[in-house]
Amino acid sequence: MKIRTRILALALLLSMLLGLCGCLPVPTVQKGDQTPEAEEMTIQSESPAQDEEIQTLAADGYFTPLAREALSFDEMTLGEISFDEFVPYAQALTQAAQSGSREAFHRACVEAESMLVKIDTAGTLLEIESDRDATDEARSTRADNQVQAYYDAMDLYQQTLCEIASGDHAGMLDKEFAAWQIEYFKSYDAESSAQSLDLTNQEAQLVSQYALCSSQDEGDYERLTEIYLQLVSVRAQMAELAGAANYSEYAYSAFYSRDYTPTDAQKIWKTAKEDFAPLLQKYTDSLTQALWKEDLGAEECTEEKIVQALCYGASRMSPEIREAAAYLLDHQLYDISYDCRKLSAGYTTYLYSFDAPFIFNCPDGSYTDYTDMFHEFGHWVAGYYHGSDPFYGVTDYDLSELQSQGMEVMFLQFYDELFADAAQALRAETLLNLVYSVVTGAMYDEFQQRVYLEPDLSEQRLLAIFREVYESYGFEPYDGYEYEWADVIHNFQQPLYYISYAVSAIPALELYVQSVESPNEAMDTYLRVAGMSDEEYYLTDALRETGLSNSMKSPIGDVIAQELERSGAFDFENG
C-alpha cells in the first residue's frame, strides 16, 4: 500500500491543478448506416460467448465488481458546464458552515464535489470529441475551455475551504476531511494559485497547438519544435513554483507518484542499452522481411475482426475477463473506428460521473491495431474492476503499464487460432515491440531528463541532445531522424511518462517466458497483478507479490533476453 506517499504526491499535484490523462490515455464506434435492430444484433454477436464449455486458463476470484449504472456511451452526455454554474455550490459551502449544521455542511460538500466531478467529466467527453477530429479547431477550443472551467472551479473550491478552515467555523471540516486535507486547505495561497492556473492554461494551449499541428498531412517540425521549447519553459516555471529542483524531479513525484527518483531510472537506461538494444539490432531486419511475407491485408485488420479477436481471447482467460469484455462491448465504451481526422493516439480514460473507463484508438490498418486494443483492454479491465478516485487517486503508471503490456502477452497464446500461418511472425513482432518499449522507454526518459536540465535550451541544443541519446541506444541515423521525438505524443502531453513503458515491459517479457512453461501459472500471475489497484499499489508491490523480478534492484535484463532467445520467441524464419 502507498497511501501516505500518494497523499503527499496528491497535495503537490493539487497545488498545480494539472489534470494529465493516463496512457495513455480513442472515440466511440461509428455504426454507419445500420438500423437500430441491425446495430443491436451486431453488438450481441460481438460479445464474448457465454458457453460454459469454454475452458479458461484461470477461475474467478481476483476482482470485486463495482456497482455501476448500465449506460452506453451514447447515453453519457453532459454538454458544456461553465465555471459560473459552480459558484452557487461554493457559496452553499460557506453558508452551510456559517449555519452550524453539520448535516447541511455535509450535504453541501457532497453536492460541490459531485458538481466538480461533472465539470471534469464534461471536459473528458469534449476532449474525446476533439480527438475524433483533431483538425477541428472549434472542438479543440471547446474542450480547452471546459478543462479550464474545471481548473477554475477547483481553485474556487479550495479557496472556499481555506476561508472556512481559517475562520470561526473551522470545526465544521473535522468530520468531512482528514487532518492532512485541512492543513492543505489552510495552505492555499491566492497569488501562487493564480500563477499556477496561468501556467496550466499556457500548457494546455500549447498542447492543443501541438495536436492541431501534428494532425496536418505534412509535419511542420520547425513549428513543433517551437511549441516544444515553449512547453519546456512553462514546465520549468511550474517546477520552480512548486519548489522542485527541476521538472523531472517534480513530474516523477507529483504526476507519477513513483517510488524511485530520476537518478534511480538511470539503472534502466543501462539495462536497455546493454541487454535489450542488441536484440533489436539482431532481429529487426529479419523480422521485417518475415512480416512482409505474412502481411495481414486490410480485410484482416477491420474493427469487426479486432473485436472478434478480443472476444476469443477474453472468453478463454477467465470468467472475470470475459465479463469485462462483455460490458465493454455491450455498452460501446470504445472507439477504434478509422477516421483520417482522428488524433493519432491510443489511450484509456475514465468518465468519473458515469464511473466507467473508455478506450480511444486511432487505427492505421495494420496488425498493431490488434495489439493496441489488447493493450488498452488491459487498462480498461483495471478501470472496470477498480474504478478511480476523482479527487485523491494518483495512478502508479508503472503498475498500470504492466497490466496493459501484460494483457498483450496473455493474448500471445491464442495467436495460432487468431492468425493461423502468420502467428509466429506476429508473435515475434509483439515481443520485439516489448523489447522496443524497454529501449525507447529508457531513451525518451534520458532525452527528456537532459532537456529539462539544460539551461537556455535552444533548437540546436535540443536536436543535438536527441542525436546523442538516440545513437547511444544503438539506433542508426537516417535522414530527418533528429526530429523523431516530435512524432511521440507523450513528449508533449505527458512528459517523463515513457520510463513506465520500460520498467513494466521487462516483467511483461518475464511473464511471457513463464507462459511458455505454464500458461495457467502465467495467467494466475497476470490476474494477481491486474487485481491490484494502481491507485493503491506500486509496481514494486505487484512484483513482490507475484515473484516477478524487479529490474530496478537486480540486473535481470540479460537473463530475460537469453530466455527469450532460448524459448524460440524469434524463430519466425522457421514458423
Q: Is-contact 146 121, C-beta < 8 A?
A: no
Spatial distance between the Cα atoms of 207 and 147, rounded to a whole number of angstroms? 13
Q: What is the pLDDT along the chain (575 residues), one digit of tens a residue?
A: 333 333 334 444 444 433 333 333 333 333 333 333 333 323 333 444 444 578 999 999 999 988 888 899 999 999 999 999 999 999 999 999 999 999 999 999 999 999 999 999 999 999 999 999 999 999 999 999 999 999 999 999 999 999 999 999 999 999 999 999 999 899 888 888 889 889 988 998 999 899 889 888 788 999 999 999 999 999 999 999 999 999 999 999 988 889 899 999 999 999 999 999 999 999 999 888 888 877 666 678 899 999 999 999 999 999 999 999 999 999 999 999 999 999 989 999 999 999 999 999 999 999 999 999 999 999 999 999 999 999 888 899 999 999 999 999 999 999 999 999 899 999 999 999 999 999 999 999 999 999 999 988 999 999 999 999 999 999 999 999 999 999 999 999 999 999 999 999 999 999 999 999 999 999 999 999 999 999 999 999 999 999 998 888 777 788 888 888 888 888 866 54
Spatial distance between the Cα atoms of 374 and 385, rounded to a whole number of angstroms? 17
Q: Is-contact 14 184, C-beta < 8 A?
A: yes
Q: Rounded to two decimals, what is the model's pTM?
A: 0.86
Cell numbers for 147: 478543462
What residues contact residue 417 under an 8 Å CB cut-off, 6+ apart? Answer: 312
Q: Which residues of 482-505 are buried (b: 16+ CB within 10 A; e: fewer)?
A: bebbbeebbbbbbbbbbbbbbbbb
Helices 137-165 and 179-186 cross at an angle (nearest 10°) of 100
Q: Is-contact 412 463, C-beta < 8 A?
A: no
Number of residues that this document lists for the chain: 575
Residue keyed to cell 491485408: 297
CA–chain centroid gap for 265, Å, is: 19
Residue 348 parent element (H or E): strand 346-351
Residues in a beta bridge with 384: none
Spatial distance between the Cα atoms of 321 and 48, rounded to a whole number of angstroms? 10
Q: What pLDDT shows up at residue 290? A: 84
Q: What pLDDT shows up at residue 574? A: 54
Cα angle for residues 264, 266, 270 (degrees, 5° grid): 135
Sheet holding 356-361, edge to edge: 334-335, 356-361, 346-351
Q: How many Cβ atoms sit within 10 Å of the Cβ of residue 66?
A: 12
Report in angstroms the alpha-carbon separations of 59 from 382, 415, 443, 521, 524. Answer: 17, 22, 39, 12, 9
Three-class HEC string of 408-472: HHHHHHHHHHHHHHHHHHHHHHHHHHHHHHHHHHHHHHHHHHHHHHCCCCCHHHHHHHHHHHHHH
Q: Is-contact 120 19, C-beta < 8 A?
A: yes
Spatial distance between the Cα atoms of 429 and 119, rounded to a whole number of angstroms? 42
Q: What pLDDT shows up at residue 52? A: 54
What residues contact residue 119 under an 8 Å CB cut-off, 6+ apart? Answer: 81, 85, 86, 146, 149, 150, 153
Q: Can you list the pairs that 165-172 forms with residues at least 24 positions away whose Cβ atoms lie under 8 Å?
A: 167/97, 169/97, 169/98, 169/100, 172/96, 172/97, 172/100, 172/102, 172/105
Spatial distance between the Cα atoms of 487 and 469, rounded to a whole number of angstroms? 16
